[in-house]
Amino acid sequence: MSKERLLEFFQRGNLNSPAIRNEIAGHFAFKTVAKGQLLLVAGKISDEYFFLDKGYLRCFAYDTEGNEVTTNLCSPGQIVFEISSFFNRTRSQENIQALTDCEGWFINFEQLNNLFHALPEFREFGRGVLVKGFAALKTRMLTMITETAEERYDHLLKTNPEIFQHTPLKNIASYLGVTDTSLSRITPK
């Protein structure tokens, strides 16, 4: 239950003071999520800002016909939470589910906000995390419009190859915006 990876994440986000990093990390609590378990259930308010230390998660929602649509695939070293629900304090439309047994560190909404107000360095760190997340979301949205399914598949394979070892192909297909059958035509034999 070492917070080493969490501390490294803070450092990569320009929290340069070891004392500040340790102080912030001291507010995060350890959590396990078993394979198949939901970290967040649609209809609930997202209250955990979760740093994924080990394992893989997926975010998904249901379309108007009741089909699951994978909206994100999460790997170790990422912050995982439903941003709209978390900050707006509204019911989530997404679920977050463990694809494997997971371990991580979390802080709740109130604790996070208290730290943001108390530590300007952490507030800047948080702003950076949000900007990177927004940029990634915008890029993903544009690739769904401007790239072919093959290009999206190749990009995912190059940037996150381990996700293929831990994620059912039906979830990868949904994330890429294709059917299972279409994905089987794209993947190498």
Residue 132 pLDDT:
93
What is the per-residue burial (b if ≥16 Cβ within 10 Å, else e) of 13-52?
Answer: bebeeeebbebbbeebeeeebeeeeebbebeeebbbbbbb
Q: Above 70 in pLDDT, residue 57?
A: yes
Banded pLDDT at 89 (limits 50, 70, 90)? very high
Distance between CA atoms of 176 and 72, rounded to whole angstroms? 10
Residue 180 pLDDT:
82
Place of tokens 């209809």: 43
Per-residue pLDDT tens over the stretch 19-49: 999 999 999 999 999 999 999 999 999 999 9
Burial of 87 (0-12, 13-18, 19+ CB in 10 A): middle
Distance between CA atoms of 77 and 67, rounded to whole angstroms? 29
> Which SS3 state, helix, strand or coil, does residue 101 take?
coil
Residue 188 pLDDT:
65
In Å, how far are 2, 115, 119, 133 from 26, measured between CA atoms? 12, 11, 14, 24
Residue 189 pLDDT:
53
Q: Which amino acid is at 4?
A: E
Name the residue with higher pLDDT: 74 or 1: 74
Banded pLDDT at 183 (limits 50, 70, 90)? confident
H or E element in which residue 184 lies = helix 180-186
165-175: average pLDDT: 94
Q: Are strands 57-62 and 95-98 parallel, antiparallel or unpaired?
A: antiparallel
Diameter of the chain measured on Cα atoms: 54
Distance between CA atoms of 27 and 115, rounded to whole angstroms? 9
Region of 38 (left: φ > 0; alpha: ψ -120 to 50; beta: rest) is: beta
Structural contact between residues 59 and 94, judged by C-beta atoms closer than 8 angstroms: yes
